[in-house]
Amino acid sequence: MNSPKRDGENDVPFKDPIKYGELVILGYNGSLPSGDRGRRKSRFALYQRGKANGVKPSTVHILNTPQDSKALHSRGQHSISYTMSRNQTVVVEYCHDDNTDMFQIGRSTESPIDFVVTDTSGGGKEGEDPTIAPSTISRFACRVVCERNPPYTARIYAAGFDSSKNIFLGEKATKWKNPDGHMDGLTTNGVLVMHPEGFPEDPKQGLWREISVCGDVYTLRETRSGPSRGKLAEGESSALRDGSLVDLCGATLLWRTGEGLMRAPTLRHLEALRQELNASRPQCPVGLSTLAFPSLLEERQPWVYLTCGHVHGRHDWGQRSEGEEEPGESEHTARRECPLCRSVGPYVPLWLGCEPAVYADAGAPSHGFVPCGHVCSERTAKYWAETPLPHGTHAFRPICPFCSTALSSPGWTRLIFQGPID
Protein backbone atom coordinates (compact mmCIF):
# COMPACT_ATOMS: atom_id res chain seq x y z
CA MET A 1 0.00 0.00 0.00
CA ASN A 2 1.14 3.56 -0.61
CA SER A 3 3.34 5.18 2.02
CA PRO A 4 1.35 7.52 4.25
CA LYS A 5 4.05 10.18 4.21
CA ARG A 6 6.43 11.99 1.92
CA ASP A 7 10.17 11.68 2.18
CA GLY A 8 11.49 13.79 5.02
CA GLU A 9 8.23 13.99 6.94
CA ASN A 10 8.03 12.75 10.51
CA ASP A 11 4.32 13.21 11.07
CA VAL A 12 3.15 9.59 10.67
CA PRO A 13 3.54 7.08 13.50
CA PHE A 14 5.31 3.82 12.73
CA LYS A 15 2.84 1.67 14.67
CA ASP A 16 -0.51 0.84 13.08
CA PRO A 17 -1.49 4.31 11.84
CA ILE A 18 -5.22 4.94 11.50
CA LYS A 19 -6.25 4.93 7.86
CA TYR A 20 -8.91 7.52 7.04
CA GLY A 21 -9.37 6.27 3.49
CA GLU A 22 -8.01 6.48 -0.06
CA LEU A 23 -8.48 8.76 -3.03
CA VAL A 24 -8.29 6.91 -6.36
CA ILE A 25 -8.07 8.67 -9.73
CA LEU A 26 -10.51 7.09 -12.17
CA GLY A 27 -9.09 5.93 -15.48
CA TYR A 28 -5.68 4.46 -14.64
CA ASN A 29 -6.53 0.83 -13.83
CA GLY A 30 -4.14 0.53 -10.89
CA SER A 31 -1.18 2.76 -11.77
CA LEU A 32 -0.14 5.71 -13.93
CA PRO A 33 1.13 4.80 -17.43
CA SER A 34 4.57 6.14 -16.51
CA GLY A 35 4.47 4.44 -13.11
CA ASP A 36 3.59 5.73 -9.64
CA ARG A 37 6.33 7.97 -8.27
CA GLY A 38 6.34 9.88 -5.00
CA ARG A 39 3.33 12.18 -4.67
CA ARG A 40 2.30 11.58 -8.28
CA LYS A 41 0.38 8.30 -8.41
CA SER A 42 -3.03 6.85 -9.23
CA ARG A 43 -4.14 6.50 -5.60
CA PHE A 44 -3.34 8.24 -2.33
CA ALA A 45 -3.84 6.74 1.13
CA LEU A 46 -4.71 9.19 3.92
CA TYR A 47 -3.31 8.13 7.29
CA GLN A 48 -3.57 9.86 10.64
CA ARG A 49 -0.53 12.08 11.07
CA GLY A 50 1.76 11.81 14.07
CA LYS A 51 1.00 15.46 14.79
CA ALA A 52 -2.19 17.27 13.78
CA ASN A 53 -1.72 19.81 10.98
CA GLY A 54 -5.33 20.96 10.57
CA VAL A 55 -6.37 24.60 10.73
CA LYS A 56 -9.63 26.40 11.58
CA PRO A 57 -10.90 29.99 11.07
CA SER A 58 -9.97 32.45 13.80
CA THR A 59 -9.65 36.20 13.19
CA VAL A 60 -11.19 38.30 10.39
CA HIS A 61 -9.33 41.40 9.17
CA ILE A 62 -10.63 44.11 6.81
CA LEU A 63 -7.65 45.71 5.06
CA ASN A 64 -7.63 48.90 3.02
CA THR A 65 -4.01 49.13 1.85
CA PRO A 66 -1.50 46.69 0.30
CA GLN A 67 0.85 47.48 3.20
CA ASP A 68 -1.69 46.18 5.72
CA SER A 69 -2.03 42.95 3.73
CA LYS A 70 1.73 42.49 3.50
CA ALA A 71 2.16 43.01 7.24
CA LEU A 72 -0.58 40.49 8.02
CA HIS A 73 0.82 37.79 5.70
CA SER A 74 4.29 38.21 7.20
CA ARG A 75 2.94 36.68 10.43
CA GLY A 76 3.10 33.22 8.81
CA GLN A 77 -0.46 32.18 9.63
CA HIS A 78 -2.70 30.28 7.22
CA SER A 79 -5.22 32.67 5.70
CA ILE A 80 -7.83 33.14 2.98
CA SER A 81 -7.86 36.52 1.21
CA TYR A 82 -11.01 37.85 -0.47
CA THR A 83 -10.34 40.89 -2.67
CA MET A 84 -13.60 42.86 -2.60
CA SER A 85 -12.32 45.88 -4.51
CA ARG A 86 -9.10 47.68 -5.31
CA ASN A 87 -9.22 49.32 -1.89
CA GLN A 88 -10.59 46.57 0.31
CA THR A 89 -9.55 43.00 1.10
CA VAL A 90 -11.07 40.72 3.71
CA VAL A 91 -8.53 38.32 5.20
CA VAL A 92 -9.64 35.39 7.35
CA GLU A 93 -6.80 34.08 9.49
CA TYR A 94 -6.69 30.40 10.42
CA CYS A 95 -5.19 28.95 13.58
CA HIS A 96 -3.93 25.45 14.44
CA ASP A 97 -6.56 22.78 15.06
CA ASP A 98 -5.45 19.89 17.30
CA ASN A 99 -8.43 17.77 16.26
CA THR A 100 -7.96 17.53 12.47
CA ASP A 101 -5.46 16.46 9.81
CA MET A 102 -5.35 18.30 6.48
CA PHE A 103 -4.37 16.82 3.11
CA GLN A 104 -4.06 18.94 -0.05
CA ILE A 105 -4.65 17.90 -3.65
CA GLY A 106 -3.73 19.76 -6.84
CA ARG A 107 -1.65 20.00 -9.98
CA SER A 108 1.25 21.80 -8.30
CA THR A 109 4.35 19.89 -7.26
CA GLU A 110 5.12 22.40 -4.49
CA SER A 111 5.56 21.03 -0.98
CA PRO A 112 2.08 21.90 0.42
CA ILE A 113 0.51 19.44 -2.04
CA ASP A 114 0.22 15.87 -0.70
CA PHE A 115 -1.33 14.31 -3.83
CA VAL A 116 -0.30 15.60 -7.28
CA VAL A 117 -3.11 15.16 -9.83
CA THR A 118 -2.88 15.91 -13.56
CA ASP A 119 -5.53 15.84 -16.26
CA THR A 120 -6.87 12.45 -17.30
CA SER A 121 -7.60 12.04 -20.99
CA GLY A 122 -9.89 9.35 -22.37
CA GLY A 123 -8.16 5.99 -22.67
CA GLY A 124 -6.35 6.14 -19.32
CA LYS A 125 -3.50 8.39 -20.49
CA GLU A 126 -1.95 11.16 -18.47
CA GLY A 127 -2.60 14.70 -19.63
CA GLU A 128 -0.75 16.01 -22.64
CA ASP A 129 2.06 18.54 -22.56
CA PRO A 130 0.53 21.57 -20.80
CA THR A 131 2.07 23.88 -23.40
CA ILE A 132 -0.14 22.17 -25.99
CA ALA A 133 -3.24 21.52 -23.88
CA PRO A 134 -3.39 23.78 -20.80
CA SER A 135 -4.59 22.00 -17.67
CA THR A 136 -8.01 22.81 -16.24
CA ILE A 137 -7.08 21.43 -12.80
CA SER A 138 -6.12 24.10 -10.28
CA ARG A 139 -2.57 24.09 -8.93
CA PHE A 140 -4.07 24.02 -5.41
CA ALA A 141 -7.39 22.39 -6.20
CA CYS A 142 -8.88 21.22 -2.91
CA ARG A 143 -8.18 20.00 0.59
CA VAL A 144 -9.54 17.11 2.65
CA VAL A 145 -9.79 17.62 6.39
CA CYS A 146 -10.12 14.47 8.54
CA GLU A 147 -11.19 14.35 12.17
CA ARG A 148 -8.56 12.63 14.30
CA ASN A 149 -11.18 11.06 16.58
CA PRO A 150 -13.88 8.48 15.73
CA PRO A 151 -15.75 8.31 13.43
CA TYR A 152 -12.81 9.98 11.57
CA THR A 153 -15.10 12.03 9.31
CA ALA A 154 -13.40 13.41 6.17
CA ARG A 155 -14.66 16.67 4.68
CA ILE A 156 -13.83 18.22 1.31
CA TYR A 157 -13.13 21.94 0.75
CA ALA A 158 -12.46 23.80 -2.49
CA ALA A 159 -8.97 25.33 -2.90
CA GLY A 160 -5.74 24.57 -1.07
CA PHE A 161 -3.22 26.72 0.77
CA ASP A 162 -0.18 27.63 -1.31
CA SER A 163 3.48 27.79 -0.23
CA SER A 164 2.83 31.09 1.56
CA LYS A 165 -0.07 29.43 3.45
CA ASN A 166 -2.60 31.57 1.61
CA ILE A 167 -5.71 31.02 -0.50
CA PHE A 168 -6.28 34.06 -2.70
CA LEU A 169 -9.64 34.89 -4.28
CA GLY A 170 -9.13 37.84 -6.63
CA GLU A 171 -11.51 40.63 -7.51
CA LYS A 172 -13.11 38.63 -10.35
CA ALA A 173 -13.55 35.42 -8.35
CA THR A 174 -17.03 34.32 -7.25
CA LYS A 175 -17.27 35.27 -3.56
CA TRP A 176 -19.81 36.56 -1.08
CA LYS A 177 -20.63 37.28 2.56
CA ASN A 178 -23.08 34.84 4.14
CA PRO A 179 -26.00 35.98 6.37
CA ASP A 180 -24.02 34.95 9.46
CA GLY A 181 -21.21 37.27 8.34
CA HIS A 182 -18.54 34.76 7.25
CA MET A 183 -16.92 35.11 3.82
CA ASP A 184 -16.95 32.30 1.25
CA GLY A 185 -16.22 31.73 -2.44
CA LEU A 186 -15.77 29.32 -5.34
CA THR A 187 -12.70 28.38 -7.36
CA THR A 188 -12.52 29.15 -11.09
CA ASN A 189 -13.54 25.74 -12.45
CA GLY A 190 -15.07 24.52 -9.23
CA VAL A 191 -14.83 21.34 -7.14
CA LEU A 192 -17.84 19.10 -7.75
CA VAL A 193 -18.91 16.24 -5.48
CA MET A 194 -21.43 13.42 -5.79
CA HIS A 195 -22.38 11.34 -2.73
CA PRO A 196 -23.99 8.00 -3.70
CA GLU A 197 -26.46 6.23 -1.45
CA GLY A 198 -25.80 2.64 -0.38
CA PHE A 199 -22.40 2.23 -2.04
CA PRO A 200 -21.26 -0.43 -2.77
CA GLU A 201 -23.94 -2.99 -1.78
CA ASP A 202 -26.95 -1.26 -3.37
CA PRO A 203 -25.54 1.91 -4.93
CA LYS A 204 -27.78 4.74 -6.14
CA GLN A 205 -26.38 7.88 -7.71
CA GLY A 206 -26.74 11.16 -5.83
CA LEU A 207 -26.86 14.69 -7.25
CA TRP A 208 -23.72 16.51 -8.32
CA ARG A 209 -23.03 19.54 -6.13
CA GLU A 210 -20.35 22.23 -5.89
CA ILE A 211 -18.23 22.68 -2.77
CA SER A 212 -17.20 26.14 -1.60
CA VAL A 213 -13.87 27.24 -0.15
CA CYS A 214 -15.40 27.01 3.34
CA GLY A 215 -16.98 23.61 2.69
CA ASP A 216 -20.60 24.60 2.10
CA VAL A 217 -22.64 22.73 -0.53
CA TYR A 218 -24.30 24.47 -3.49
CA THR A 219 -26.25 23.44 -6.58
CA LEU A 220 -24.24 23.64 -9.81
CA ARG A 221 -23.58 26.89 -11.63
CA GLU A 222 -25.09 27.32 -15.11
CA THR A 223 -21.67 26.54 -16.56
CA ARG A 224 -18.57 25.12 -14.89
CA SER A 225 -16.85 28.50 -14.43
CA GLY A 226 -19.95 30.71 -14.43
CA PRO A 227 -19.83 33.97 -12.41
CA SER A 228 -22.88 33.23 -10.24
CA ARG A 229 -23.03 30.54 -7.58
CA GLY A 230 -25.87 28.04 -7.35
CA LYS A 231 -28.36 27.84 -4.48
CA LEU A 232 -27.29 26.66 -1.03
CA ALA A 233 -28.16 22.96 -0.72
CA GLU A 234 -29.85 23.05 2.68
CA GLY A 235 -29.10 20.10 4.92
CA GLU A 236 -26.36 18.67 2.66
CA SER A 237 -22.81 18.16 3.87
CA SER A 238 -19.30 18.16 2.45
CA ALA A 239 -18.52 15.03 4.52
CA LEU A 240 -17.25 12.30 2.19
CA ARG A 241 -18.95 8.89 2.17
CA ASP A 242 -17.68 5.58 0.89
CA GLY A 243 -17.96 5.90 -2.90
CA SER A 244 -18.10 9.71 -3.04
CA LEU A 245 -16.81 11.17 -6.31
CA VAL A 246 -14.79 14.40 -6.44
CA ASP A 247 -14.38 16.09 -9.83
CA LEU A 248 -11.54 18.61 -10.28
CA CYS A 249 -12.38 19.58 -13.90
CA GLY A 250 -9.84 17.34 -15.58
CA ALA A 251 -9.73 14.35 -13.25
CA THR A 252 -12.31 12.54 -11.12
CA LEU A 253 -11.35 11.00 -7.77
CA LEU A 254 -13.13 8.18 -5.96
CA TRP A 255 -13.13 8.25 -2.14
CA ARG A 256 -13.07 4.90 -0.34
CA THR A 257 -13.24 4.90 3.47
CA GLY A 258 -10.91 2.73 5.53
CA GLU A 259 -13.90 0.57 6.49
CA GLY A 260 -15.08 0.35 2.88
CA LEU A 261 -11.65 -0.78 1.69
CA MET A 262 -11.69 -3.62 4.21
CA ARG A 263 -14.82 -4.98 2.48
CA ALA A 264 -13.61 -4.32 -1.08
CA PRO A 265 -11.93 -6.98 -3.23
CA THR A 266 -8.15 -7.00 -3.20
CA LEU A 267 -5.64 -7.49 -6.01
CA ARG A 268 -5.12 -11.03 -4.71
CA HIS A 269 -8.87 -11.66 -5.03
CA LEU A 270 -8.95 -10.28 -8.59
CA GLU A 271 -5.99 -12.50 -9.48
CA ALA A 272 -7.87 -15.53 -8.07
CA LEU A 273 -10.89 -14.64 -10.25
CA ARG A 274 -8.59 -14.41 -13.30
CA GLN A 275 -7.10 -17.83 -12.59
CA GLU A 276 -10.54 -19.31 -11.98
CA LEU A 277 -11.82 -17.96 -15.30
CA ASN A 278 -8.75 -19.25 -17.14
CA ALA A 279 -9.14 -22.65 -15.43
CA SER A 280 -12.58 -22.99 -17.05
CA ARG A 281 -10.69 -23.09 -20.40
CA PRO A 282 -12.93 -20.83 -22.51
CA GLN A 283 -12.48 -21.51 -26.22
CA CYS A 284 -12.61 -19.52 -29.43
CA PRO A 285 -15.61 -20.86 -31.42
CA VAL A 286 -13.76 -20.24 -34.70
CA GLY A 287 -10.13 -21.17 -34.02
CA LEU A 288 -11.01 -23.70 -31.27
CA SER A 289 -8.03 -22.42 -29.31
CA THR A 290 -8.12 -22.09 -25.54
CA LEU A 291 -8.35 -18.47 -24.38
CA ALA A 292 -6.82 -16.89 -21.29
CA PHE A 293 -6.69 -13.49 -19.62
CA PRO A 294 -2.98 -12.64 -19.49
CA SER A 295 -1.25 -9.74 -17.84
CA LEU A 296 0.12 -8.67 -21.25
CA LEU A 297 -1.27 -8.85 -24.76
CA GLU A 298 -0.83 -12.39 -26.08
CA GLU A 299 -2.20 -14.39 -28.94
CA ARG A 300 -4.52 -16.27 -26.58
CA GLN A 301 -6.12 -13.11 -25.22
CA PRO A 302 -9.93 -13.08 -25.50
CA TRP A 303 -11.62 -10.69 -27.92
CA VAL A 304 -15.31 -9.82 -27.92
CA TYR A 305 -17.99 -8.70 -30.34
CA LEU A 306 -19.44 -5.84 -28.30
CA THR A 307 -22.87 -5.94 -29.92
CA CYS A 308 -23.67 -9.50 -28.86
CA GLY A 309 -21.05 -10.32 -26.21
CA HIS A 310 -19.71 -13.50 -27.86
CA VAL A 311 -16.08 -14.03 -26.81
CA HIS A 312 -13.55 -15.30 -29.37
CA GLY A 313 -9.82 -15.44 -29.91
CA ARG A 314 -8.28 -12.95 -32.27
CA HIS A 315 -9.08 -13.92 -35.86
CA ASP A 316 -9.75 -12.37 -39.25
CA TRP A 317 -13.18 -13.90 -39.82
CA GLY A 318 -15.99 -11.47 -40.65
CA GLN A 319 -13.89 -8.53 -41.78
CA ARG A 320 -15.85 -6.23 -44.04
CA SER A 321 -14.64 -5.55 -47.53
CA GLU A 322 -12.78 -2.33 -48.25
CA GLY A 323 -15.84 -0.66 -49.76
CA GLU A 324 -18.02 -1.42 -46.74
CA GLU A 325 -15.72 0.15 -44.13
CA GLU A 326 -16.83 3.47 -42.71
CA PRO A 327 -14.55 6.54 -42.73
CA GLY A 328 -12.22 6.72 -39.73
CA GLU A 329 -12.41 3.02 -38.90
CA SER A 330 -9.18 1.42 -37.68
CA GLU A 331 -8.24 -2.18 -36.89
CA HIS A 332 -9.64 -1.82 -33.37
CA THR A 333 -12.76 0.23 -34.22
CA ALA A 334 -13.82 -1.46 -37.48
CA ARG A 335 -17.19 -3.19 -37.34
CA ARG A 336 -17.06 -6.96 -37.72
CA GLU A 337 -19.67 -9.67 -38.13
CA CYS A 338 -19.88 -12.25 -35.33
CA PRO A 339 -19.59 -15.76 -36.83
CA LEU A 340 -21.99 -17.18 -34.22
CA CYS A 341 -24.98 -14.84 -34.43
CA ARG A 342 -24.13 -12.61 -37.43
CA SER A 343 -24.55 -9.38 -35.46
CA VAL A 344 -22.29 -6.55 -36.65
CA GLY A 345 -20.35 -4.32 -34.31
CA PRO A 346 -16.95 -3.43 -32.84
CA TYR A 347 -14.52 -6.30 -32.16
CA VAL A 348 -12.07 -5.47 -29.35
CA PRO A 349 -9.65 -7.21 -26.94
CA LEU A 350 -10.79 -7.83 -23.37
CA TRP A 351 -8.79 -6.53 -20.40
CA LEU A 352 -9.44 -7.29 -16.75
CA GLY A 353 -10.10 -4.24 -14.56
CA CYS A 354 -7.19 -4.14 -12.07
CA GLU A 355 -8.20 -1.27 -9.74
CA PRO A 356 -9.98 -2.95 -6.80
CA ALA A 357 -11.32 0.31 -5.33
CA VAL A 358 -13.79 0.88 -8.17
CA TYR A 359 -15.43 -2.55 -7.82
CA ALA A 360 -18.95 -2.52 -6.37
CA ASP A 361 -18.61 -6.17 -5.34
CA ALA A 362 -16.36 -9.21 -5.61
CA GLY A 363 -18.46 -10.92 -8.29
CA ALA A 364 -17.16 -12.90 -11.25
CA PRO A 365 -15.75 -10.99 -14.25
CA SER A 366 -18.84 -11.45 -16.42
CA HIS A 367 -19.39 -8.08 -18.13
CA GLY A 368 -17.35 -5.80 -20.37
CA PHE A 369 -17.53 -2.05 -20.83
CA VAL A 370 -18.45 -0.73 -24.28
CA PRO A 371 -16.46 0.36 -26.26
CA CYS A 372 -13.13 -0.23 -24.41
CA GLY A 373 -13.50 -3.91 -23.39
CA HIS A 374 -12.49 -3.67 -19.72
CA VAL A 375 -13.96 -6.59 -17.77
CA CYS A 376 -15.48 -6.58 -14.27
CA SER A 377 -18.47 -7.87 -12.30
CA GLU A 378 -22.07 -7.24 -13.37
CA ARG A 379 -22.86 -4.88 -10.49
CA THR A 380 -19.69 -2.86 -11.09
CA ALA A 381 -20.37 -2.52 -14.83
CA LYS A 382 -23.97 -1.43 -14.35
CA TYR A 383 -23.14 1.06 -11.58
CA TRP A 384 -20.50 2.95 -13.56
CA ALA A 385 -22.52 2.82 -16.79
CA GLU A 386 -25.35 4.58 -14.94
CA THR A 387 -23.12 7.16 -13.21
CA PRO A 388 -22.57 10.28 -15.36
CA LEU A 389 -19.40 12.24 -14.56
CA PRO A 390 -18.82 15.93 -15.36
CA HIS A 391 -17.47 16.57 -18.85
CA GLY A 392 -16.54 19.96 -20.27
CA THR A 393 -18.31 23.11 -19.09
CA HIS A 394 -21.78 21.73 -18.36
CA ALA A 395 -22.12 18.22 -19.80
CA PHE A 396 -22.14 14.82 -18.08
CA ARG A 397 -21.32 11.37 -19.40
CA PRO A 398 -20.52 7.91 -17.97
CA ILE A 399 -16.97 6.64 -18.41
CA CYS A 400 -15.09 3.39 -17.90
CA PRO A 401 -13.53 3.70 -14.42
CA PHE A 402 -10.47 1.73 -15.60
CA CYS A 403 -9.50 3.87 -18.62
CA SER A 404 -11.91 6.88 -18.60
CA THR A 405 -13.16 6.13 -22.13
CA ALA A 406 -16.64 7.58 -22.68
CA LEU A 407 -19.19 4.75 -22.64
CA SER A 408 -21.81 4.00 -25.26
CA SER A 409 -25.41 3.22 -24.36
CA PRO A 410 -26.04 1.00 -22.39
CA GLY A 411 -22.27 1.05 -21.76
CA TRP A 412 -21.76 -2.65 -21.03
CA THR A 413 -22.26 -6.07 -22.57
CA ARG A 414 -22.70 -9.46 -20.93
CA LEU A 415 -19.83 -11.73 -21.97
CA ILE A 416 -20.72 -15.12 -23.47
CA PHE A 417 -17.88 -17.64 -23.15
CA GLN A 418 -17.82 -21.01 -24.92
CA GLY A 419 -16.59 -23.84 -22.74
CA PRO A 420 -14.14 -26.54 -23.85
CA ILE A 421 -15.55 -29.06 -26.32
CA ASP A 422 -13.90 -31.98 -24.50
Does residue 375 sit within a domain?
yes
Which pLDDT does position 5 carry in this prediction? 43
Which pLDDT does position 45 carry in this prediction? 96
Does residue 323 sit within a domain?
no
Choosing from 218, 241, 263, the residue where a domain stops is 263
DSSP, res 127: P
Q: Are residues 43 and 190 in the same domain?
A: yes
Q: Are residues 223 and 312 in the same domain?
A: no
How far is 283 from 295, CA to CA, in rounded Å?
18
Does residue 180 sit within a domain?
yes
Q: Are residues 306 and 388 in the same domain?
A: yes
Does residue 186 sit within a domain?
yes
Q: Are residues 208 and 100 in the same domain?
A: yes
Does residue 2 sit within a domain?
no
Count the neighbouring beta carbons within 10 Å of the beta carbon of residue 161.
19
Q: Are residues 156 and 296 in the same domain?
A: no
For the entire predicted model, the pTM comes to 0.87
Choosing from 243, 263, 283, the residue where a domain stops is 263
Q: Are residues 398 and 361 in the same domain?
A: yes
Domain containing 273: what range?
A: 267-318+332-414
Does residue 161 sit within a domain?
yes
Burial of 276 (0-12, 13-18, 19+ CB in 10 A): exposed
Q: Are residues 152 and 170 in the same domain?
A: yes
Which pLDDT does position 72 carry in this prediction? 64
DSSP string, 158-195: ES---TTSEEEE-TTS-EEE-TTS-EEE--SS-EEEE-
Does residue 35 sit within a domain?
yes
Q: Are residues 278 and 199 in the same domain?
A: no
- In angstroms, how far is CA 262 from the centroid of its own chain? 19
Burial of 109 (0-12, 13-18, 19+ CB in 10 A): exposed
Q: Are residues 245 and 285 in the same domain?
A: no
How far is 403 from 23, CA to CA, in rounded Å?
16
Choosing from 235, 263, 291, the residue where a domain stops is 263
Q: Are residues 208 and 285 in the same domain?
A: no
Domains in the chain, number: 2
pLDDT digits (tens, 9 = 90+) for 244-291: 999 999 999 999 999 999 999 998 999 899 999 989 888 888 777 888
Which pLDDT does position 353 carry in this prediction? 93
pLDDT digits (tens, 9 = 90+) for 28-73: 998 888 888 889 999 999 999 999 999 999 999 888 766 666 656 6
Q: Are residues 338 and 211 in the same domain?
A: no
User: How does pLDDT run along the chain (422 residues), one tens digit per residue?
Assistant: 444 444 444 454 456 789 999 999 999 998 888 888 889 999 999 999 999 999 999 999 888 766 666 656 656 789 999 988 888 889 999 999 999 999 999 999 999 999 999 988 765 455 544 444 578 899 999 999 999 999 999 999 999 999 999 999 988 899 999 998 899 999 999 999 999 999 988 889 999 999 999 999 999 999 998 999 999 999 999 999 999 999 999 999 999 999 999 999 998 999 899 999 989 888 888 777 888 887 644 556 899 999 999 999 887 776 655 445 554 444 545 688 899 898 999 999 999 999 999 999 999 999 999 999 999 999 999 999 999 999 987 899 999 999 999 999 889 999 999 877 65
Does residue 228 sit within a domain?
yes
Q: Are residues 254 and 286 in the same domain?
A: no
